[in-house]
Every structure is written in structure tokens, then in C-alpha cells.
A and B are shown apart, each in its own frame.
Chain A
Amino acid sequence: MSRTIIEKLWDSHVVQEQPGAPALLYIDLHLVHEVTSPQAFQDLRERGLKVRRPDLTIATADHSIPTTDRSLPIVDEIAARQLAQLEANCAEFGIRCLGVHSDRQGIVHVIGPELGLTQPGMTVVCGDSHTATHGAFGALAFGIGTSEVENVLATQCLLQRRSKTYQVKVDGQLAPGVTAKDIILALIARVGIGGGTGSVFEYTGSTIRGLGMEERMTVCNMSIEAGARAGLVAPDDTTFEYLCGRPHAPKGAAWDEALARWRQLPTDAGASYDQSITIDGAALEPMITYGTNPGMGVPIGAPVPEPSRMADPIGRESVAKALAYMGLQGGRPVLGLPVDVVFIGSCTNSRISDLRAAAAILKGRKVNPKTRVLVVPGSQEIKRQAIAEGLPEIFRAAGCEWREPGCSMCIAMNGDQLSPGQYSVSTSNRNFEGRQGKGARTFLASPLTAAASAITGVVTDVRTLL
């Protein structure tokens, strides 16, 4: 029978299904970070349990780690304690930890792929909702809570219910200035932030096929922002070329065997999805969010909605509340509004291609003196690569801050944050109230839009600078 890749991944990982219970699903790769794991390790300790498969588990420090000079002590004592706890837990339970001083440290969803740990056909979990990033490789990758982190540490398994299959087909050639980030922001604006609830997205179509691996990761990363359990792209030669030669990718005969298996993964001809949507990639424009969830997005020149014209009372109230928080007026565009801070980074847009895109706009130009710009590479490896390409010099010459890797201002746990009322153009994934600091106001956009806005100091359509 014809199956989608989503069904193939599911079927090949079901350990057992008992009547009246969810399926027991095997997990091939478990990524761990400092924020959602300490309580799980503590419970293991109290129950006298071990980590079943340390060889399928890896940890890094990303959420609460400062992005300042790593040779200095960490000022925030609570964060320092949490980071030390991660290293202690990993040492005690035999897990490799790419901690604060590791030369492989980075955002958890950046290091998995770059080490070649994330591979097609896998199930990947992490106590982090942006785990869908790894779906770019044709893996079933999803975020879990701390209780489930503990379950996976102890048993390498999870109790799961089968999700619905949802095809997101994007066809056509992207216009100049339009990026992977704009594809996913447009999708979320269209289906809403609950539109994918209960489903796994498979991104298909010529636009998706034409994206590089880092761009596919950007798209898959924000699947959760449409409520989807996961999002993935079937593996192809682009995937295999990216993986080949990476530290943990199979080598020699094992590579050939893996390749043969991976080529069986794509959705069979004739397989059907529970739901499908088609997006015209050629018609997309650079997108920007105006509100307090990632679904509140518009093409960059378009006016934001007018709440008084909305029918549903709670929906109207929610948009009015969002606009009030953002200090915006319904019916007007955000284009041209002043920007206090530009953040280029996060598990969505901190990879080398993102930095190159931003640098291409910033090269030979100056950041507006009223705007602070933070550029935060996703990992130590990306930092090294950026240095080799001379990108930090471009950023510094333009007036940007070039910082150490971590989640940074995406989640604002580490001291990198906006002041109340400030506006940012941010390449991260969430614009929730207070996400980038108490009272912070976030416009989500692509690295190109972020770099363009950094130069002008106002929300800017990058196409005017190309």
C-alpha cells in the first residue's frame, strides 16, 4: 500500500502497540539542553534509574548561556548553576555534553545536523518545541516535555499517538528578496497558529526541492508555530550531499547501505494525505509579523488588520490586545516604523547561509546609529566558518555586535533582551508578549529584512536595497 514518508517513519519505529494504549515509539536520537532536563535527571536519580542509551543521547548548553566572552565567569548565578547542573548530570549519567567551554557548543538544533547526528529516517526528540528543525533531513522530529525527556532517558521510548498527515506543497521560483523564512511565515499566517494541531507537515513541491538544507531547516523549524507536531522534507540528493563527510555520518560501506535505505523514504506515488494545502511560491513577498503570535503576519508592505472589522468577538479582542501591546494602529503597515534592535540568530536563522545573506546586505554599509544589532552564530562551528569567510569583519565594520553562540535574544533568558516598549526586527521564531524581554515588541522576519532594517533603522523592504 502507498504510504507517505510520515507513515513510513512512524511504522518503522513502533516497538509495540498494546490494546487501549498509545503506541510505544523508539527514539533514535535524543538531544538534551540545560532548561528542560534537570528535573528529569533528578527523577531518574530518585528512582535509581540509568540512562538506557547514552550513545543515542547528546547534550549542549544553549538557552541560558551568555553570548559574551566565554573565558569570563557567568554573572547570572542562577543560569551558572543550571549550566553546571547540566554538565554534572551528563557526567553522572555518561552523556556527552558539548557544554559552555566545548568547541562544538551551539544551539541544540544547529549542532545535531552539523555533526551529522541528524539523519534521514530517524526519530529525533528534544525537550524543545523547535525540534521539528531536524525534519529537514526526512526525520520524524518533535518537541517533548520534561516527563517525556525522562521517559526517553530511561527507556529510549515514548508513548505516542499517530498524527494526521498534512501536505504543504510550495511550487514556483521565489522572487529576489524572498527566503525560506518568508515561506514559513506565509504558511503560518494562512493556516493560523493552531492550523496544524494534531498533524505532521510534509513540505513538498518545486520550491522546497530547490531549497538548500539550511533553508529547509528554517522552514521545518517553525512547523510548531502553526501548531504542527512536526514538519519534514523527504530526503534527496541535497540532503545526502549535506550529510556526506560529516563527523557522525556513516562512512564507506555503511554510507552506501544508509543511502539505499534513505532512498526508500520519500512518499510513494499515489499515497494520500489527511489534509493538503498549496502555496504559490512565486507569488510570495517578504513577510513580517505585526502581532503577538507568529500567525499574525503580512507581506511587508501590507496594512495590519483592523480589529473593528473582525466578526468573532474573542478573535477581535485578541487582535486588539496584540495591537495595543505592540503600540500599533489597525489598518496601517509596519513598514517604516522605527526599530531599536535587530537580532540575527536563533535555531531558525543562525546558520552560515543566514549570516552570509545578512552580510551581503550589510557589506560596505553602516547600521543606523539609533539601532543596536546583534549577530549571534548558531554554533562554535558556524562561528569558525564565519571567521574563515571574513563575515565578522563585515558585521563589525557595519556597526553590529558579533557574539558567542546560543539562543540569545530569541528567548531572552541569558541577559540578551529588549527593554520594555522597544521594537526589534528579529530572525527568531516567536513574537509572543515578553518573549524578547518584559514589554518587548517583536517583528519576526528573514535575515535579509533584518539586515535591511538595521541599515535604515526602520522596518524596511529589502527589495529596495538589492
Chain B
Amino acid sequence: MKPFTDFESRIVPLAINNIDTDQIIPARFLKTVSKQGLDKQLFCDWRYDAAGAPRPEFILNQERVRGAQVLLAGDNFGCGSSREHAPWALTQFGFRAVVSTSFADIFKQNSLKNSLLPIVVPPDVHAELFAAVAADPDAKVKIDLPRQTLTTPGGRTVEFPIDSFSKHCLLNGVDELGYIMQQEAAIAGYEAARVGSIDTRG
């Protein structure tokens, strides 16, 4: 995982609540055995019509979002399935952060493991960001992970929550599996004391 650095970006607004992972990437694309090539399938059924042509009215098809790295979405983003294909598709498209008032648990955990920062803001900041991007499509936010701050286009700096471990992993590109494997002695000790195990093979 590459270390997460500060950045400034335009905003892609999607003012819809409860955007589920079936919208982020429809299930029919989950037959792949690879992590790659998912950017084209991001929001596929909102992005393309029945004939496969881009819908010009959908925001991801508009010139103004080219290079934008922040998705601004309605409440409870990423609900539904556990598919990690959702953050894979978002990051491959170029997103580095999603801003919402809340995130579904599994999506949030999957995102943190893929250098995609889920930023929770209070409703007033959320509304301010939607208003700012409606007034000026080129409006930019600044994301500073070490300080845990988001600076709105209007210059207001707000703190966002993130647990210290996830922050450390993002900033230093720490691989979670590597961290767990360092605890081998504790795992072996726990296993030795376990009772009543099953054997799936027998």
C-alpha cells in the first residue's frame, strides 16, 4: 500500500442517500479473478445506457470531473455487499477520498485497506460542500490526513474522525497482514488453549 499524502481536489457530487455497492459496481462484474480493470465498471448502470453509450447527464461522464479525486455522496455510502471490488473500482477511477455523513461498516474497512479515505462530516458541512460545488463546479477541498482536516472551498477547516491505527497504516503504507503476522506467538498461544474445535475436512 502506498503512503497516503495530502492533496487538493475538485469534488464529484452524488446527492443520493444509501448508495449501495451494487451501484458502485454491479454484481455481474464480480466474475473476474483479478483486481484490475474495474474503473470502467464503476457506477456502470448509472454511467451507461442500455446500448453501452455514456449518459451525458451522469456526472462521471462530464469533463468537469476529469482528475477529481474526491467523491461527495449522500448518507450511508457503500451499504450492501462486502465486495472489495467497490473500493478497487473507486480507486482505479482515481478517487482517493469519499465524503459523506456516514459509511457502511464493511465498505469503510475495505476502503481503509485500499488507500481510499472515508471522511465523515457533520450534516452542515455536508450541505455546505454540496452547495459549494453547485455554485462552482471547480470548487476544491483540501484533505490533510496528519491533521485529520478537510478544508471546504469556502476556507472552513473541519476535523474528521479516524482511528489512530488506520491513520498510521494509511500514512505509512502499512500492510495489515504483515502487522498481524508479527503477532505469531500470541496466535499460537491462543490456538494451544482452544477447546472444542471442528475439522472441516473430516
Contacts and interface: CB of A to CB of B under 8 A. Distances in A.
Contact of B198 (A16, A56, A224, A314): A56
B201 interface: yes
Given A81-B33, A161-B163, A57 B15 contact: no
A386 to B, nearest CB: 25
Interface residues on B, range: 35 or more
Interface string A149-185: 0110011111101000000000000000000000000
Contacts of A56: 197-198, 200
Interface in B79-127: 79-84, 102-106, 109-110, 113-114
B80 A20 contact: no
A117 B31 contact: no
Contact of B187 (A26, A35, A412): A26
A82 B31 contact: yes
Contacts of B195: 257, 261
A227 B105 contact: yes
Contacts of A96: 200-201
Contact of A129 (B16, B81, B163, B194): B81
A56 B28 CA distance: 30
A373 B179 CA distance: 50
A15 B186 contact: yes
Contacts of A58: 200
Interface stretch (B19-27, B136-144, B147-155): B19-27
B57 to A, nearest CB: 13
A430 interface: yes
Contact of A438 (B26, B84, B197, B202): B26
A200 to B, nearest CB: 10
A55 B200 CA distance: 5
Contacts of A460: none
Given A39-B33, A85-B33, A293-B18, A145 B28 contact: no
B157 interface: no
B63 interface: no
A252 to B, nearest CB: 13
A315 interface: yes
A101 to B, nearest CB: 18
A155 B191 CA distance: 11
Interface stretch (A190-198, A300-308, A359-367): A190-198
Contacts of B84: 36, 39, 145-147
A55 B199 contact: yes
A181 to B, nearest CB: 18
Contact of A144 (B15, B76, B82, B194): B82
B23 A145 contact: no
Interface in B175-202: 176-177, 179-181, 183, 186-187, 189-191, 194-202
Nearest to A54: B201
Contacts of B16: 314, 317-318, 321
Contacts of B33: 38-39, 42, 81-82, 85
B191 to A, nearest CB: 8
Given A24-B186, A198-B105, A435 B180 contact: no
B106 A433 contact: no
A78 interface: yes
A345 to B, nearest CB: 15
A22 B195 CA distance: 24
B17 A144 contact: no
B45 interface: yes
Most A CB within 10 A of own CB, among B27, B83, B102, B110: B27
A78 B196 contact: no
Given A96-B201, A197-B105, A63 B30 contact: yes
Interface in A110-125: 117, 119, 121
A4 B196 CA distance: 22
A55 B198 contact: yes
A254 interface: yes
A340 interface: no
Interface string A37-51: 011001000010000
Contacts of A16: 183, 186, 190
B177 A156 contact: no
Given A151-B180, A193-B18, A55 B201 contact: yes
A311 to B, nearest CB: 13
A193 B103 CA distance: 11
B66 interface: no
A79 interface: yes
A433 B25 CA distance: 11
A257 B196 contact: yes
Interface of B: 15-18, 20, 22-23, 26-28, 30-35, 45, 50, 74-76, 79-84, 102-106, 109-110, 113-114, 163-165, 168, 176-177, 179-181, 183, 186-187, 189-191, 194-202
16 contacts: A20-B164, A26-B190, A28-B197, A35-B30, A36-B82, A56-B200, A76-B31, A144-B82, A147-B114, A148-B113, A151-B180, A224-B80, A257-B195, A318-B18, A411-B27, A438-B26
Given A127-B82, A156-B187, A224-B80, 18 more contacts: A16-B183, A18-B183, A20-B168, A24-B186, A26-B190, A28-B197, A35-B83, A38-B34, A55-B197, A78-B32, A81-B31, A117-B198, A129-B81, A145-B113, A227-B76, A248-B198, A321-B16, A438-B26
6 residue pairs, one from A and one from B, having the closest CB atoms:
A38-B33, A194-B76, A145-B84, A145-B110, A143-B82, A58-B200
